[in-house]
Amino acid sequence: MSPDSMNVEQRQWVDFGKRSGLKCHRVSIGAMRLPDDEDEAARLMRQAIDAGMIYIDTSRGYGASEIKVGKSLKEGYREKVILSTKWSPWNQKVEETDDASAACTYKRLVESMERLDVEHLDFYQVWSINSYEQYRQVIAKGGMLDGIRRAVDEGLVGHMGFTTHDTPENVSNYLDETDWCEAILFTYNILNQKYQEVIAKAHEKGIATIVMNPLGGGLLAENSPVIRNAIGRDDVVALAHRYLAGDPNVDTILCGISKPSDITGTLENFAKPPLTAEERKTLEKLTDLLSKENMGFCTRCNYCMPCPNGLDIPGILHVVYLERLLECPKVAGDLYKWVANPDKRTRATDCTECGECEDKCTQKLSIMEEMKYAAGKFDEAE
């Protein structure tokens, strides 16, 4: 049955992948940006759970998220949810000696349970398998997977999965041999459909498909006139949600909750009719006009790297793309803080105009001019 032929109730509750045997709501809780105040965070979490958002995605690396989630799950709430957390040594070194061994993974897993103050995790995910090399480390004998398997055997964990930013080709290959995997978290939204086919393949195999960044990390919520003009609509956020709701291969999306309207707004959009397959295709053609390739901008091919001064050239140019070409200054400014580090002298303003990068740029971009632009927008504004 396609989503557009179901009633609202049928659409809202789906299998959380056939392998797990669990059911979930199509909207789940992303617990990365909970309010600082623990009581406020607990109230928000419970509002979401009461509204049906029962799958919870947190991480050892999301600051105090696990602690806040744990506090929200008292008084009977633990039994209502599918609780998932994640960790990997390449995303977060709790100690310098952290590695991808079974022993270290098991230790971090148990720590997460203590932080969450629970006796059982429904899911534990390997956090960001981003390359074939990392994948090999995960599945190697005595590697991360064995650490999680030990916890499963001991009854501490119910199911295993992973999150990824790897190439779709690599992820597709992993799917052919990851019988252990019961859930995968992918990026997917109206500006980024690169995992669409892999998501379909995972769904077909009975793996729960979870979508992160449904609004492009805030991009689609920034009310950009460029995006509104490209799609010919003002209701960008609703359209972005209805687009994902219309993909039968997506089990659930993560709604990052930091205020009550994040919950109510997202659920309202998922109660609206999902986009039909035809509407989805039309929208994809329109948003494709905003791609870097079609705008003739930096494609992140990395041929210009490394910069002798340590600048993340594609990273800074991505920020410029967001700020100038998509007119999303807020998201761009937030991202720039991650990309450019004043202590390491890797801000745009640290470009010495040596010109090495421009000789190698596949897009023949005026990188030095772009660095000056970024410096003016972000470094001088500090």
Residues near ligand SF4 (CB under 6 A) are: 298-304, 307-309, 311, 313-314, 317, 351-357, 360-363, 365, 367-368, 371
The least distance separating ligand SF4 from the CB of residue 336, rounded to whole angstroms, comes to 15
Report the alpha-carbon distance of residue 112 to residue 48 in Å, rounded: 22
The least distance separating ligand SF4 from the CB of residue 202, rounded to whole angstroms, comes to 29
The least distance separating ligand SF4 from the CB of residue 356, rounded to whole angstroms, comes to 4
The closest alpha carbon to 87, from 59, 120, 121, 52, belongs to 59
Q: For every residue of 3-18, which 3-state class applies, written as one string?
A: HHHCCHHHHHEEECCC
The least distance separating ligand SF4 from the CB of residue 348, rounded to whole angstroms, comes to 8
Report the alpha-carbon distance of residue 357 to residue 104 in Å, rounded: 40
The least distance separating ligand SF4 from the CB of residue 379, rounded to whole angstroms, comes to 13
Report the alpha-carbon distance of residue 275 to residue 28 in Å, rounded: 20
The least distance separating ligand SF4 from the CB of residue 345, rounded to whole angstroms, comes to 11
**Closest to ligand SF4 by CB, 99 or 358:** 358
Cα–Cα separations (whole angstroms), residue 109 to 22, 30, 104, 137, 153: 22, 19, 9, 17, 14
Q: Is the distance from CB of 198 to CB of 186 less than 8 angstroms?
A: yes
**Closest to ligand SF4 by CB, 190 or 371:** 371
Please give the DSSP secondary-structure letter assigned to residue 364.
Answer: -
Cα–Cα separations (whole angstroms), residue 233 to 13, 223, 229, 247, 365: 29, 11, 7, 20, 31
The least distance separating ligand SF4 from the CB of residue 216, rounded to whole angstroms, comes to 20
**Closest to ligand SF4 by CB, 223 or 302:** 302
The least distance separating ligand SF4 from the CB of residue 372, rounded to whole angstroms, comes to 10
Report the alpha-carbon distance of residue 27 to residue 210 in Å, rounded: 9
Judged by DSSP in three states, 369 sits in helix
| Sign for the pseudo-dihedral over CA of 47, 53, 55, 61 | negative
Helix extents (H) in the chain: 8-12, 38-50, 65-72, 102-116, 132-139, 144-153, 168-175, 196-204, 225-231, 236-245, 260-271, 277-288, 292-295, 313-320, 329-339, 356-360, 367-374
**Closest to ligand SF4 by CB, 173 or 309:** 309
**Closest to ligand SF4 by CB, 192 or 309:** 309
The closest alpha carbon to 184, from 120, 137, 126, 112, belongs to 126
**Closest to ligand SF4 by CB, 181 or 357:** 357
Q: Cα-flanking dihedrals φ and ψ of residue 96, to 5°?
A: -55, -30
**Closest to ligand SF4 by CB, 136 or 194:** 194
Q: For every residue of 168-182, which 3-state class applies, written as one string?
A: HHHHHHHHCCCCCEE
**Closest to ligand SF4 by CB, 100 or 340:** 340
The least distance separating ligand SF4 from the CB of residue 298, rounded to whole angstroms, comes to 3
**Closest to ligand SF4 by CB, 133 or 353:** 353
The least distance separating ligand SF4 from the CB of residue 295, rounded to whole angstroms, comes to 12
